[in-house]
């Protein structure tokens, strides 16, 4: 593996008496794409949110690009500028145009001049295939287009690492493809990516590694063909059998991370 861009050591997270993460160790190399899979409630989203301290770990360490985010003396705002995050919900400002949604954070957080922010916004809208929507309001866009705008907004900040928390889970099935195509493009460009997903075809095709979590721990970590195609642990096999063919388990698998769930 190349030098670690993300390093997680002995990470724990509890919510009251609920011990959600139980000593996670994980490294993601520069330019590597790692997909995190697992059942609802396994701790996937909490792990992702701990990487940029949207959730404060109960114990352990998180490093991004050599900076320890869990150091009490770290400049967390500066450290977070290296990390882009895309959520299940699009979180766009409805009263602003697409371009304004991209330029506002650049100007407020990075202090960029208006013209520079607009140029970078245009470049990243082109990157996600939405140049023609620059003046549109979010309400006029499909869910897939709104998510691509959210990706462009994150990219406009110039991140070194991108985190994706079930980016297609709120979308109708016919809208998923365009979002995944953008993410494939980022992977080809060499962007370091950590992706919580239930899109097994995407994980097989794009991920360098797949991590399977259950019960707040990592059960398997390896190449997609091994973890998805030939899982070694019964818990992984059971999860994949339910996800890929719910009838095999006799119970329909609950889609992970749907909007309105409290999956942690």
- The span from the CA of 1 to the CA of 204, in Å, is 19
Domains of the chain, by residue range, sit at 94-158
Q: What is the residue-averaged pLDDT of the chain?
A: 91
Tens digit of pLDDT for each residue in 78-110? Answer: 999 999 999 988 899 999 999 999 999 999 999
Q: Which of 18-22, 115-119, 155-159, 166-170 has the lowest mean pLDDT?
A: 166-170
Report the pLDDT value the prediction gives residue 258, as an integer from 0 to 100: 36
The tokens describing 176, both together, are: 């998923």
Tens digits of per-residue pLDDT, 150-170? 999 999 999 999 999 999 998
The CA angle 7-8-12, to the nearest 5 degrees, is: 170
List 37's β-bridge partners, or say none.
212
What pLDDT shows up at residue 246? 56
Q: Are 110 and 103 within 8 A, CB to CB? A: no
- What pLDDT was estimated at residue 255? 42
* Sheet with 67-68, side-by-side order of all strands: 18-29, 4-15, 59-64, 67-68
Mean pLDDT for the stretch of residues 242-251: 60
**pLDDT band for position 253 (50/70/90)?**
very low
Determine contact, residues 27/1, Cβ cutoff 8 Å: yes
What does the alpha-carbon distance between residue 158 and residue 38 come to, in Å, rounded to a whole number? 30
What is the model's pLDDT at position 2?
Answer: 64
């Amino acid at each position: 593996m190349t030098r670690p861009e993300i390093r997680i050591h002995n990470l724990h997270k509890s919510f009251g008496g609920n011990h959600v993460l139980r000593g996670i160790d994980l490294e993601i190399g520069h330019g590597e794409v790692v997909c995190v899979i697992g059942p609802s409630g396994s701790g996937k989203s909490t792990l992702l949110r701990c990487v940029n301290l949207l959730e404060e770990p109960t114990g352990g360490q998180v490093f991004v690009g050599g900076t320890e985010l869990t150091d009490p003396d770290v400049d967390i705002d500066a450290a977070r500028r290296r990390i882009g995050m895309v959520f299940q919900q699009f979180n766009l400002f409805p009263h602003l145009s697409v371009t304004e949604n991209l330029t506002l954070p650049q100007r407020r957080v990075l202090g960029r001049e208006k013209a520079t922010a607009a140029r970078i916004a245009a470049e990243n809208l082109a990157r996600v295939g939405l140049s023609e929507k620059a003046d549109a309001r979010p309400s006029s866009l499909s869910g897939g287009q709104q998510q691509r705008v959210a990706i462009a907004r994150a990219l406009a900040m110039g991140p070194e690492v991108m985190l994706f928390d079930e980016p297609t889970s709120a979308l109708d099935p016919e809208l998923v493809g365009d979002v995944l195509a953008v993410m494939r493009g980022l992977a080809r460009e060499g962007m370091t990516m950590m992706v919580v997903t239930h899109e097994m075809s995407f994980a097989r095709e794009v991920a360098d590694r797949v991590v399977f979590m259950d019960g707040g721990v990592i059960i398997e970590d390896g190449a997609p063909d091994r973890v998805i195609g030939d899982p070694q642990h019964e818990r992984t096999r059971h999860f994949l059998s339910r996800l890929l063919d719910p009838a095999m388990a006799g119970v329909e698998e609950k889609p992970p991370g749907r909007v309105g769930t409290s999956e942690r």
